[in-house]
Structure 1
Amino acid sequence: MHPLILLAIAIVGEVAATVSLKLSEGFSKLVPSVVVIVGYGVAFTALAKLLKQGFPVGVAYAVWAAIGVAAVALIGALFLDEPFTPVMGLGLAMVIGGVLLLELGRTH
């Protein structure tokens, strides 16, 4: 499978699991609790397959984590009534910038 597809699957699985972790209310709600387990399973399986194909672990983890953090923060702000301030936005921009620099450094 194409590396970027595996990375996308890993990100979607991790984001779904992390958001569901909040919705599970301490694993007291069945459906979100199941999504947590399945989502993290999908995420780590896809990430493992990606790394097995020779994708650099530092870049894979940086992209996976940065996009996951950004997505969860935005989902929290848009759908879960969590705060999102301009300073938080700047922090996310810096994380994404750092990932881009990691990728650029790999190619030079």
Structure 2
Amino acid sequence: MLTYLIFAVAVLGEVAATVSLKVSAGFTRPVPTVIVVVGYLIAFTALAKVLERGMPIGLAYAVWSAFGIAAIAGIGAVFFGERLTPTMVVGLALVICGVITIELGSAP
């Protein structure tokens, strides 16, 4: 259970850092810039801990990426007015299906 909590921290750190990239205005705004650096530091440290605890790297990266992609797409649409077309939604669904397939394939 602790591994999944650490994994959630990794995903949240990555999402916070990526969103902050958008609002940092090319690293000209100090607070979002600090959030970028701290967020990625947290994300990669937590991901390293998850891998150290035995989660397979392919599975960890697939799930981490999929959650990040879906969250960033949703945040972009809701908070930044970015387009999220039906084709993009299908693409996100395919990414999620791919991660589920990887998860099922990694089961003993």
- 1:92 paired to 2:92: yes
Q: CA deviation at 1:6?
A: 1.0
Unaligned runs of 5+ in 1: none
Distance 2:53 2:86 in 1: 38
Unaligned runs of 5+ in 2: none
- 1:55 paired to 2:74: no
Distance 1:69 1:31 in 2: 23
Q: What percent identity do the matched residue pairs reach?
A: 57
Distance 2:80 2:34 in 1: 19
- Per-residue CA deviation, residues 52-93 of structure 1 (Å, 9 max, x unaligned), is 111100000000000000000000000011110000000000
**1:53-92 counterparts in 2 under 5 A?**
53-92=53-92
Amino acid at match of 1:61: Y
Q: Which residue matches 1:36? A: 36
Amino acid at match of 2:79: F
Q: Which residue matches 1:104? A: 104
Give the TM-score taking structure 1 as reference length.
0.97
Q: Secondary structure at 1:13's aligned position in 2?
A: helix
Distance 2:17 2:104 in 1: 30
Q: Secondary structure at 2:45's aligned position in 1?
A: helix
Give the TM-score taking structure 2 as reference length.
0.97
Task: After the TM superposition, list the runs of 4 or more consecutive aligned residues in structure 1 that deviate by more than 3 angstroms.
Answer: none
Q: CA deviation at 1:27?
A: 0.2
- Per-residue CA deviation, residues 28-68 of structure 1 (Å, 9 max, x unaligned), is 10110000000000000000000011110000000000000
